[in-house]
Amino acid sequence: MERRGTAAVVLLAVAALAAAEAQLSPAFYDAICPALQPTVRRGMAQAVQKEPRMGASILRLFFHDCFANSSDGSILLDDTPSFTGEKSAGPNANSVRGYEIIDGIKAQVDASCNATVSCADVLALAARDSVFLVYGYAMLSSSSSTNAG
In a domain, 49, yes or no: yes
Q: For position 72, what pLDDT does the model report? A: 57
> Is 64 among the catalytic positions?
yes
Q: What is the CATH number of the domain that holds 115?
A: 1.10.520.10
Q: What percent of the chain has pLDDT over 70?
A: 70
Domain-embedded: residue 75: yes
In this prediction, residues 10-16 reach a mean pLDDT of 43
Residue 86 labeled ligand binder:
yes
Q: What confidence score (pLDDT) does residue 16 get? A: 47
- The verdict on residue 66 lying in a domain is yes
Count of structural domains, the chain: 1
Residue 11 has a CB neighbour count (10 Å cut-off) of 10
Q: Is residue 5 in a domain?
A: no
Would you say residue 15 lies in a domain?
no
Angstrom distance (rounded) from CA 112 to CA 109: 5
Catalytic residue among 42, 45, 56, 64: 64
d(CA 28, CA 112): 16
The reply to whether 51 sits in an annotated binding site is no
| 32 within domain boundaries | yes
The range of the structural domain enclosing residue 143 comes to 26-148
Tell me the pLDDT band of 3, cut-offs 50, 70 and 90: low
Q: Supply the pLDDT for residue 15.
A: 46
Contact status, residue 105 vs residue 92, Cβ threshold 8 Å: no
- The answer to whether 65 is annotated as binding is yes
Query: What is the distance between the alpha carbons of residues 76 and 90, in angstroms, rounded to a whole number?
Result: 14
The answer to whether residue 3 is domain-embedded is no
Does 13 fall in a domain?
no
pTM, rounded to two decimals: 0.72
